[in-house]
Structure formats: C-alpha cells, structure tokens
C-alpha cells in the first residue's frame, strides 16, 4: 500500500507541473507605461513575434511564460508602441 501511495504522489507531482506559454522576450523590473483605459504602469511584459502577449506584475509574467531571453530594465521607463518618426530637415 505504501508503494502505491508513493507512486501516486510522484505521478501527481509530475503531472501538475505548470507549463507556461512560450514567449520570445520578457522585459521585467521596468516601469511600463500603457495607454489602456486606466493608464496603468506595469512591471513586466511578455512578447512573442513582435506582439505584446501580456503586461502585468513581474512575478506573474516571469512565472507564466517560458522564455530564453530576459531583459532586466533596471526600473527604466518603457513606452510600448510609441513610434516617433518625424524629422527636421532645416533645423
């Protein structure tokens, strides 16, 4: 009986391991300014194929996604989706 209980416990441990969603890049330890309805500031974001998958608390993003490339932003501000494509030819 002890042997069967041990096997069941081990099987439950291995089958309950959470496999996070795949991401290409995670930026964490940042101040990410969003333009959502509440103009929230997030700590981390996950990106895949150039698209932001999720922004949120650092622990939630780091634990929710499998990623090979992590960037520690060292609390620097990030403005996702901000493009500044203008030029001053004469000045």
The total of structural domains in the chain comes to 1
Band (4; pLDDT cuts 50, 70, 90): confident
Q: Over 80: is that where the pLDDT of 86 sits?
A: no
The answer to the question of residue 88 being in a domain is no
For residue range 42-85, list pLDDT tens digits in order.
Answer: 999 999 999 999 999 999 999 999 998 999 999 999 998 777 77
CATH number, position 54:
2.30.40.10
- Structure token pair of residue 2: 């002890």
The answer to the question of residue 32 being in a domain is yes
């Amino acid at each position: 009986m002890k042997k069967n209980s041990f096997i069941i416990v081990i099987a439950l441990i291995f089958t309950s391991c959470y496999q996070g969603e795949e991401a290409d890049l995670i930026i964490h330890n940042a101040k990410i300014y969003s333009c959502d309805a509440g103009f929230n500031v997030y700590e981390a974001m996950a990106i895949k194929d150039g698209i932001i998958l999720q922004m949120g608390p650092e622990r939630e993003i780091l634990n929710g996604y499998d990623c090979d490339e992590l960037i520690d932003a060292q609390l620097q501000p990030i403005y996702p989706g901000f493009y500044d494509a203008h030029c001053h030819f004469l000045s």
